[in-house]
Structure 1
Amino acid sequence: MTFFVCSRGIVFTYVRLLPTHLSSIKKSSSTGAELHLGPVRHHLCLLSADVDECATNTHSCRPRERCVNTVGSFVCELQVTCPAGYQLRNSVCEDVDECLVRTHNCGLGFVCENTVGSFMCKPKQKCISGFTQDSHGNCIDINECSSLDEPCGSGFNCINTVGSYSCQQKIIMCSNGYHASPSGAKCIDIDECQMGTHRCGVGQICHNLPGSYRCDCQTGYQYDALRKVCTDVNECWRYPGRLCAQTCENTPGSYHCSCTSGFSLAFDGKNCEDVNECDKKPCSQECANIYGSYQCYCRQGYFLKEDGHTCEDIDECSQSIGNLCAFKCVNVAGSYQCACPPHGYIMSANGHTCRDIDECMTGTHNCSFGQNCFNLQGSFRCLSFNCPANYKKVSDTRCERISCPANSLDCQNSPTRITYYQLSFQTNIIIPAQVFRIGPSPAYSGDHVVISITKGNEEGYFSTRKLNSFTGAVYLQRRVREPKDFQIDVEMKLLRQGTSTSFLARIYVFITSSTM
């Protein structure tokens, strides 16, 4: 059995060759052996089967080409897809005339007009304004209220009519406290306060509310529901001892703080500060400021008169005292000369008295940055005002106690406030001398104070005396013959309405030499 190739794409399965049919065999370099069958060749090829290259995927068409099988071969055709309204002809998309081929859907009242890729249905007759044509060519009314965007303004309703429309103003009902807006579209609040239709009384403030209003009293007043008026609040009675440090005076709608004699109102309008009366020079010579008051005293060679302000000269020469000079007299022929100590003083212009040098003002002291300089006659002192534990510093010379724990009895018994004071006197001060006064501020009826020196009076130079039920004083009762510094703690216990409160005055008393 031998296979033969009839032509490309046709395969002859097999045939039995008879010697009588075989004429010759011719070899070829390209096809191998070719059978020359002579007259039977045609009949043999009719017995062969075509190969479908498209079905067997043995073709060589590109992805965009379509394979078409042929007898003994195949053809690759280019695939072209036309959009709607077009048809493929000779591999080209051509427009379809829907009007010509009658594939349109125009009604009887319309005429078909072909367009590129589509068609249009044009009405045979035109409608007047306010009407439009339906799919059957009939003129129907246009509802402008639904087709137009806000045909009427706000506050109006749109009503459709045949061929047109109309606008009718809305009618709205507003509740009390509201009225219709100018456009009539909505209700807006009535400002009774601005329009003056409120019923607030004299001295009341009107506050507008949505649909209503509210009447409030001014600051410092409260509403009297019985009389329906605003009455003044007496802040001094309502908050006793909390608004002012000393005296509280009620004013219409507010209050005012004031201070007793010897004090001035601080910048905060609440606390009172000691007035340094010495700035106004009430004494003829020397003045010592004390808490709430002042003390006049005289230089060497003078004595204080009964008025407590004027110093009168002592005629040392006529009395043969010999103290012609404030510090030292040096006799010379026909006269005398006065000299001052080598440190702390300078000679006055009169040539007799010595004037103290204020080292604190001139900056010639040696106090550190954290210390306060206090000038003395002929010298100065560097003082440190530090607050002890459980106290905070509220001013340069005042400490206030911090809140105590509930179980700390020592803390609760400690002074509520510690205040530092500095006093300076000379050794020639007249004994006994009142050097300090202390008392509550403000004072109330029924107050009772107890004054005592708790520290620094071991040598008994000072004593206390009660001037009245709410004022005490500290006296220098022993003569101090030589310059000496004291630091005494004066405690004032205030009994008020069954409650005891203590205050501490820490006083520096400097006794300087009077031999000037």
Structure 2
Amino acid sequence: YKNRALLSRVRGQVCCSCCALGLLVRSEGRGCDAHQYLGYPCGHVFLTCCEEEEDLSQIPLRRKQKPRPTVLPRKENGGCSQQCSAVAGRVHCSCFPGFSLMADGRMCEDVDECATNTHSCRPRERCVNTVGSFVCELQVTCPAGYQLRNSVCEDVDECLVRTHNCGLGFVCENTVGSFMCKPKQKCISGFTQDSHGNCIDINECSSLDEPCGSGFNCINTVGSYSCQQKIIMCSNGYHASPNGAKCVDIDECQMGTHRCGVGQICHNLPGSYRCDCICLLSNSFSSILTDVNECWRYPGRLCAQTCENTPGSYHCSCTSGFSLAFDGKNCEDVNECDKKPCSQECANIYGSYQCYCRQGYFLKEDGHTCEDIDECSQSIGNLCAFKCVNVAGSYQCACPPHGYVMSANGHTCRDIDECTTGTHNCSFGQNCFNLQGSFRCLSFNCPANYKKVSDTRCERISCPANSLDCQNSPTRITYYQLSFQTNIIIPAQVFRIGPSPAYSGDHVVISITKGNEEGYFSTRKLNSFTGAVYLQRRVREPKDFQIDVEMKLLRQGTSTSFLARIYVFITSSTM
């Protein structure tokens, strides 16, 4: 009776194990043909569970639809964990496909086909190990501004994850594949925004329709403009017209500014006047020969401007700004600009001239000299992202001497990627990591008892049985590089860590084991299988950190540790 009960219990355990294997094969989407390699009754149980339809909603699946590992019984018939057979009267243990027999000859452990390179994934596919098998995932390379999620490139919200470089006074707005920095406050009157959010001066003299009235020159200033009355140099007998455009004759007779005496009549002339006498003949027999004043007798008909009487004749002359024509009567306008009376630009006008200045200069009170406008000192908005340098008639924006180049707009500075352009000085065995305005040369070397499996990953080599330190060391060491600016809002989540793939029942413990002596960082557990690293203190000056973040994973009663060695670079936010 006791032997029969023991045999019944053993058969029940074998059936349980074979059924679990059938469920596993079915969940991976593989065929159920493997039953032909199993003996009876295991093959029959395997096939029944593999082909049986049951409510899949009751089977817990991971987010990426990968199979949950099946807990296999540790003790089977003859002490075997999976398969048992009799060879020469002795018990012989074997394992299912995808498992290998451990050194004790009884227990079976999963074969990592990805690590042992026994998988069949193609070059563009990534091997992901599963319990008893593996999965081939298509590798997708996403462009800048996107990240891979569920084999699909999704837009990265730089504003949400705080990887943007918007400075103080700007608000980050996410766009597809990138982001925009918009100023928190609009520009004040007299300024407008360029494409980068900078407040630049509006030239009202060119953008407004006649900002100043006639007779005035428009002078642009930073944030505004001024109207300067045109200065016309008129000769004696002339004054500027009401609109300041030309010189007009002064009617001294009408204004009463003449000097004609009693018994004289005032007659206005261009630029002057004459006094005519009222002559009476007292002796009809007198035959005195007197000079005839042609200028009085024929007013305004002999000379275009000024007539001067001479004994027996007359002489025509012109006022300032005019010269006597070849006919000796008419007056022609003199082009005073030929003598270059202005420091910059000269405009000839009828009877005079006008000085004016080029853009970036203003006309001084003497009406002739132009002086440079210092846009940098008068600027209310930010003309330049880094530094404004005043030059004659304008200004120029400058960038730091190293690590930046001027953008095409001439106002903002663009970071030079020394790693891409090859202008770094990293050695052959180092990795170049670009930063804002600089770069770093990093070495990813594996410690003793580790082998390098990728550019940034080290795997632990199998430990000796008596080496407890080796067994307690991290199974994997992975290197990461992060870059942030000094104006990052604190506290800021800078890193997340968790097992991949994650299974139900996983528990993690996150801690910083090295590099946090000044207490700039802290850790927080987000859920049972995810932890995060936070920057909790503000870093006011550019600073480099190297911190070791350890994750201890408790899975099915076994504890395993992993190490993330993170380089954190805090760069300046002035650009």
What band does the TM-score fall into relative to the shorter chain? 0.3 to 0.5
Alignment check: 8 A CA contact 1:108 1:137 kept: no
Provide closer, same or farther for how the CA distance between residues 332 and 445 of structure 1 changes in structure 2, counting only shifts above 3 A.
same
Provide closer, same or farther for how the CA distance between residues 464 and 366 of structure 1 changes in structure 2, counting only shifts above 3 A.
same
Alignment check: 8 A CA contact 1:178 1:211 kept: yes
Shift of 1:352: 1.7
| Distance (whole Å) between structure 2 residues aligned to residue 74 and residue 105 of structure 1 | 41
Alignment check: 8 A CA contact 1:453 1:490 kept: yes
Alignment check: 8 A CA contact 2:543 2:571 kept: yes
- Give the match for residue 557 of structure 2: 498
Shift of 1:436: 0.7
Shift of 1:297: 48
Provide closer, same or farther for how the CA distance between residues 232 and 265 of structure 1 changes in structure 2, counting only shifts above 3 A.
same
| Distance (whole Å) between structure 2 residues aligned to residue 267 and residue 441 of structure 1 | 102
What CA deviation, in whole Å up to 9, does each residue of 1:453-492 have, x standing for no partner? 1101111111111111111111111111111111000000
Provide closer, same or farther for how the CA distance between residues 168 and 433 of structure 1 changes in structure 2, counting only shifts above 3 A.
closer
| Distance (whole Å) between structure 2 residues aligned to residue 138 and residue 335 of structure 1 | 17
Alignment check: 8 A CA contact 2:216 2:227 kept: yes
Shift of 1:173: 142
Provide closer, same or farther for how the CA distance between residues 385 and 28 of structure 1 changes in structure 2, counting only shifts above 3 A.
closer
| Distance (whole Å) between structure 2 residues aligned to residue 55 and residue 108 of structure 1 | 48
Q: Please list every run of 5 or more consecutive structure 2 residues that lacks an aligned counterpart in the other structure.
A: 1-13, 16-20, 36-106, 278-282
Alignment check: 8 A CA contact 1:247 1:442 kept: no
SS at match of 1:317: helix
Alignment check: 8 A CA contact 1:107 1:136 kept: no
Shift of 1:131: 137
SS at match of 2:378: coil
Alignment check: 8 A CA contact 1:288 1:424 kept: no
Shift of 1:431: 1.3
| Distance (whole Å) between structure 2 residues aligned to residue 157 and residue 366 of structure 1 | 57
Deviation larger for 476-485 or 197-206: 197-206
Shift of 1:446: 1.0
Shift of 1:326: 2.1
Shift of 1:318: 16
| Distance (whole Å) between structure 1 residues aligned to residue 301 and residue 470 of structure 2 | 22
Deviation larger for 68-77 or 418-427: 68-77
Shift of 1:118: 120
Shift of 1:283: 54
Provide closer, same or farther for how the CA distance between residues 163 and 204 of structure 1 changes in structure 2, counting only shifts above 3 A.
same
SS at match of 2:303: coil
| Distance (whole Å) between structure 2 residues aligned to residue 107 and residue 319 of structure 1 | 23
Q: Quick check: which one's strand share is greater?
A: 1
| Distance (whole Å) between structure 2 residues aligned to residue 122 and residue 316 of structure 1 | 24
| Distance (whole Å) between structure 2 residues aligned to residue 50 and residue 466 of structure 1 | 29
What CA deviation, in whole Å up to 9, does each residue of 1:274-322 have, x standing for no partner? 9999999999999999999999999999999999999999999999985
SS at match of 2:212: coil
Provide closer, same or farther for how the CA distance between residues 34 and 98 of structure 1 changes in structure 2, counting only shifts above 3 A.
closer
| Distance (whole Å) between structure 2 residues aligned to residue 88 and residue 349 of structure 1 | 32
What CA deviation, in whole Å up to 9, does each residue of 1:195-214 have, x standing for no partner? 99999999999999999999
Deviation larger for 260-269 or 99-108: 99-108
| Distance (whole Å) between structure 2 residues aligned to residue 163 and residue 506 of structure 1 | 52
Shift of 1:513: 1.1
Alignment check: 8 A CA contact 1:431 1:477 kept: yes
What CA deviation, in whole Å up to 9, does each residue of 1:222-264 have, x standing for no partner? xx99999999999999999999999999999999999999999
Provide closer, same or farther for how the CA distance between residues 190 and 138 of structure 1 changes in structure 2, counting only shifts above 3 A.
same
Provide closer, same or farther for how the CA distance between residues 442 and 139 of structure 1 changes in structure 2, counting only shifts above 3 A.
closer
| Distance (whole Å) between structure 1 residues aligned to residue 487 and residue 186 of structure 2 | 131
SS at match of 1:27: helix
Provide closer, same or farther for how the CA distance between residues 229 and 459 of structure 1 changes in structure 2, counting only shifts above 3 A.
farther
| Distance (whole Å) between structure 2 residues aligned to residue 335 and residue 159 of structure 1 | 14
Shift of 1:339: 1.2
| Distance (whole Å) between structure 2 residues aligned to residue 407 and residue 265 of structure 1 | 120
Aligned-residue CA RMSD in angstroms? 56.0
| Distance (whole Å) between structure 1 residues aligned to residue 161 and residue 381 of structure 2 | 155
| Distance (whole Å) between structure 1 residues aligned to residue 314 and residue 486 of structure 2 | 47
Provide closer, same or farther for how the CA distance between residues 418 and 147 of structure 1 changes in structure 2, counting only shifts above 3 A.
closer
Alignment check: 8 A CA contact 1:443 1:470 kept: yes
| Distance (whole Å) between structure 1 residues aligned to residue 456 and residue 152 of structure 2 | 110
Shift of 1:433: 1.1
Alignment check: 8 A CA contact 1:449 1:494 kept: yes
Deviation larger for 158-167 or 352-361: 158-167
Deviation larger for 350-359 or 171-180: 171-180
Q: Which TM-score applies when normalising by structure 1?
A: 0.38
Alignment check: 8 A CA contact 1:50 1:71 kept: yes
- Give the match for residue 166 of structure 2: 106
Provide closer, same or farther for how the CA distance between residues 195 and 101 of structure 1 changes in structure 2, counting only shifts above 3 A.
same
Provide closer, same or farther for how the CA distance between residues 496 and 467 of structure 1 changes in structure 2, counting only shifts above 3 A.
same
Alignment check: 8 A CA contact 1:427 1:513 kept: yes
| Distance (whole Å) between structure 1 residues aligned to residue 258 and residue 374 of structure 2 | 85
Alignment check: 8 A CA contact 2:404 2:437 kept: yes
- Give the match for residue 462 of structure 1: 521
| Distance (whole Å) between structure 1 residues aligned to residue 508 and residue 28 of structure 2 | 147
What CA deviation, in whole Å up to 9, does each residue of 1:162-219 have, x standing for no partner? 99999999999999999999999999999999999999999999999999999999xx
- Give the match for residue 9 of structure 1: none
Alignment check: 8 A CA contact 2:522 2:533 kept: yes
Provide closer, same or farther for how the CA distance between residues 258 and 343 of structure 1 changes in structure 2, counting only shifts above 3 A.
farther
| Distance (whole Å) between structure 2 residues aligned to residue 99 and residue 429 of structure 1 | 11
Provide closer, same or farther for how the CA distance between residues 480 and 211 of structure 1 changes in structure 2, counting only shifts above 3 A.
closer
Alignment check: 8 A CA contact 2:202 2:223 kept: yes
| Distance (whole Å) between structure 2 residues aligned to residue 466 and residue 75 of structure 1 | 29
- Is residue 73 from structure 1 mapped to residue 133 from structure 2 by the alignment? yes
Provide closer, same or farther for how the CA distance between residues 308 and 331 of structure 1 changes in structure 2, counting only shifts above 3 A.
closer
| Distance (whole Å) between structure 2 residues aligned to residue 25 and residue 434 of structure 1 | 38
Alignment check: 8 A CA contact 2:498 2:508 kept: yes
Alignment check: 8 A CA contact 1:25 1:34 kept: no
Deviation larger for 327-336 or 351-360: 327-336
Provide closer, same or farther for how the CA distance between residues 206 and 308 of structure 1 changes in structure 2, counting only shifts above 3 A.
closer
SS at match of 2:552: strand
SS at match of 2:338: helix
| Distance (whole Å) between structure 2 residues aligned to residue 23 and residue 381 of structure 1 | 52
| Distance (whole Å) between structure 1 residues aligned to residue 535 and residue 159 of structure 2 | 134
Query: Among 302, 323, 326, which residue is 2:385 paired with?
Result: 326
Alignment check: 8 A CA contact 2:548 2:565 kept: yes
Deviation larger for 262-271 or 403-412: 262-271
| Distance (whole Å) between structure 2 residues aligned to residue 236 and residue 126 of structure 1 | 70
What CA deviation, in whole Å up to 9, does each residue of 1:127-154 have, x standing for no partner? 9999999999999999999999999999
Shift of 1:115: 123
- Give the match for residue 176 of structure 2: 116
| Distance (whole Å) between structure 1 residues aligned to residue 443 and residue 231 of structure 2 | 84
Deviation larger for 315-324 or 480-489: 315-324
- Is residue 447 from structure 1 mapped to residue 446 from structure 2 by the alignment? no
**Identical columns (%):** 95
SS at match of 1:24: helix
Alignment check: 8 A CA contact 1:288 1:423 kept: no
Shift of 1:382: 0.6
What CA deviation, in whole Å up to 9, does each residue of 1:337-378 have, x standing for no partner? 321100110011112211111111111111111111111111
SS at match of 1:25: helix
What CA deviation, in whole Å up to 9, does each residue of 1:84-136 have, x standing for no partner? 99999999999999999999999999999999999999999999999999999
| Distance (whole Å) between structure 2 residues aligned to residue 377 and residue 214 of structure 1 | 82
Shift of 1:73: 117
| Distance (whole Å) between structure 1 residues aligned to residue 326 and residue 357 of structure 2 | 34
Alignment check: 8 A CA contact 2:507 2:529 kept: yes
